[in-house]
Amino acid sequence: MTITIIPVRGIPEVREGDELAHLIADAAAAEGTPLADGDCVVVTQKVVSKVEGRVVALEADDPAARRTLVESESRRVLRRRGELLITETAHGWVCANAGIDLSNVEHGHAALLPIDADRSARHVRDALRARAGVETAVVISDTFGRAWRTGLADVAIGVSGLAAVVDLRGQRDTLGRELQVTEVAVADEVAGAAELVMGKATGVPAAIVRGLDPAWFREATARELVRTPSEDLFR
């Protein structure tokens, strides 16, 4: 029941059209930590967006252009403060500036969120199976702010082969009482755990999370992590 989180180092700067799964599987093998069945591979949104060509021209010092881009990537603006917009993306994610981001992207450019990160995750998973012969789960992670709490944390925006949310309904606590906490956002906790070895400045865009509960490996989508606006008391 011990979990190990292994950074995948040595992945080169990626370009549009690269097959991420090959880069990850090969780098992990070269590092002496080859992928194994039952691993969950966490990949940052940034490299997924790059290989999928979700990079657009944007001058960092042009706030009007940036605002226009953020709005075009959003379904709804929830809050504005100065240059910061908290918006709801087409996927339903609530985050700063529609998840558009300038770090680790070439100057004069910005990375947009993948169009469908669940599909991205499925693609990486299938390609890992083909390349390395392993049955893994895949989580696409991104770094979001939160209401009420300072700091940012990595969460899941795409999953394949791993429960996004684990429902404990019907289970009982150690004293035999039915659990009050019923839904655990496992994929978000996995994304956050992976961030601990990836850092922001160190060029490690993927990590292996090894030893997760086998019961969590099932078909799922990260869309399950979107709280629908009608059930959300804070949007």
Where in 16-75 is the site for a second copy (CB under 8 A)? none
- Amino acid in position 221: T
Looking at residues 175 to 214 of the shown chain, list those that interact with a second copy (rule: CB under 8 A).
175, 177, 179-181, 183-186, 188-190, 192-193, 195-197, 200-203, 212-213
- Give the whole-angstrom CA distance, residue 28 versus residue 204: 11
Contact indicator for 40, 136 with CB cutoff of 8 Å = yes
- Give the whole-angstrom CA distance, residue 10 versus residue 81: 39
Q: Least separation, in Å, of the C-beta of 130 and a second copy? A: 26
Q: 10 Å Cβ neighbour count for 38?
A: 14
Looking at residues 92 to 151 of the shown chain, list those that interact with a second copy (rule: CB under 8 A).
93-94, 101-107, 143, 146-151
- Which residue in this structure is represented by tokens 């940036």? 66
Stretch that binds a second copy, among 48-56, 62-70, 112-120, 153-161 (CB under 8 A): 153-161
- Give the whole-angstrom CA distance, residue 77 versus residue 100: 14
Query: Can you read off the two tokens belonging to residue 111?
Result: 């990375």
Of the candidate residues 32, 64, 230, 233, the single one contacting a second copy (CB under 8 A): 233
By the rule CB under 8 A, 224 interacts with a second copy: yes
| Nearest to a second copy of 65, 168 (CB atom) | 168
By the rule CB under 8 A, 169 interacts with a second copy: no
Q: Least separation, in Å, of the C-beta of 79 and a second copy? A: 4
| Nearest to a second copy of 69, 123 (CB atom) | 69
Of the candidate residues 124, 155, 162, 220, the single one contacting a second copy (CB under 8 A): 155
Judged on CB neighbours under 10 Å (0-12, 13-18, 19+), 169 is exposed
